[in-house]
Amino acid sequence: MAIDPAAVGRAGEPRTRSWTSTDALLYAVGVGAGLGEPTSELAFTTENSDGVAQQVLPTFAVLLSQAPPPSFGTFDPALLVHAEQAVILHRPVPVEGTVTATARVAGVYDKGSGALVVTESEAVLADGSLLATNRSAVFIRGAGGFGGDRGPRDDWAAPDRAPDRSVRYETRPEQALLYRLSGDRNPLHSDPSFAARAGFGKPILHGLCTYGVTGRALLQEVAGGDPARLTGMYGRFSATVVPGQALTVEIWHGTGDEALYRTRTDDGTVVIDRGRATIGSA
């Protein structure tokens, strides 16, 4: 198993993806919209409710802006986990459309116990306008120790006070089976034998599903439910979630247009840490 530090700057093949109203609705339900109260998020879960125009959850842009990464080494895919995720939205996600994205390797870092590989991509709409910028990092266990840079430090710290907002969302035991229909068919989230190879007792929830649930909380609690106002979101995946576990998102108002957050399970385990969200004006 070897990671190639020289992969930095390498680009993959462009990917063009089209989506429909139905795809946006399926994504919303996949990250729990409407769970427990089916009429609470109709703008994201229906297209024909009286007086309610369909809108798209901002975190759907993460899926739209993904593209196949170039080769950055050889490793057992069961040892790869999603480590960090950031998205910048340059405009609200349309209900339907077509984007083209190309991923490039932005960083390869030696964390000792593993390697952290960062990729970036931009999703460009068919009219040439920029929809979103995507930055994702994966951690490959056992692939560190090659003598590379450890990477930049993050000075994030939770404020020394109770969260300004806190909201708890349930997930379904079958949440991963629903979320995977939006495109992420990694068997880690559905196949018990593959999950066992990765060291888990059962399939775990997609990190990006947890990210999407968290995005719903940020949208409602600090962006007034307006997708145009949630313009950026970053988080570090710090622990796994089992489908069916509830998630509590703790939010602190920051300076300027920034809010800080973290997401935890009911036993206090933080599953998304060092969270930052950028909130635009109304």
Residues assigned a catalytic role: 184, 189
Q: How many CB atoms lie within 10 A of CB 96?
A: 14
Asked whether 110 and 145 are in contact (CB, 8 A), the reply is yes
Could you tell me if residue 73 is left (phi over 0), alpha (psi between -120 and 50 degrees) or otherwise beta? left
Query: HSE of 228 in the Cβ direction (CA atoms, 13 Å)?
Result: 2
Angle, helix 21-30 to helix 207-222, in steps of 10 degrees: 90
Sign, CA dihedral 196-31-274-264, equals negative
